[in-house]
Amino acid sequence: MRITVLSVPDCPNAPVVEERLARALDGRDADVERIEVGSPEQAVRLGMTGSPTVLIDGVDPFAVPGVPASLSCRLYRGPDGRAERAPSLADLRRALEDDDAACGGRAQDADRGWRTPRSSIG
């Protein structure tokens, strides 16, 4: 499984997403990468609809139809309907399970699990 966290430089919400992802992965084998997005063109190319955006195997499981690419802050609706700085732990777990199911399940290696996100500029 490949997870990409797209964020603008110094986004205060990116660490929140990364912490929740670490908990949601709970032993799953995943390659997690953080990409800092610095231009509107790069946001369009990568599919970032606000910072932070989480892509699981290249797909934004939290996408809202019709929302354009953006360098703005992104908020997520929590289970209680309130705005949150990142997807809830429950929503992240559900998205990871949906991806596993869509891909026919993957062998999970509890010893490998969470990999420290790499920071790169694409």
Which residues, in sequence order, are CB contacts of 39 under 8 Å at separation 6+? 71
Amino acid at 13: N
CA 71-76-80 angle, 5° bins: 165
Mean pLDDT over residues 51-75, rounded? 95
What is the pTM assigned to this prediction? 0.80
Residue 71 sits in a domain of what CATH number?
A: 3.40.30
Q: How many structural domains compose the chain?
A: 1
pLDDT higher than threshold 50 for residue 32: yes
Tokens at residue 122, please?
A: 């694409």
Domain range for 97 is: 2-120
Computed over every residue of the chain, the mean pLDDT equals 85
* Residue that wins the pLDDT comparison between 107 and 2: 2
Q: Is 119 left (phi over 0), alpha (psi -120 to 50) or beta?
A: beta
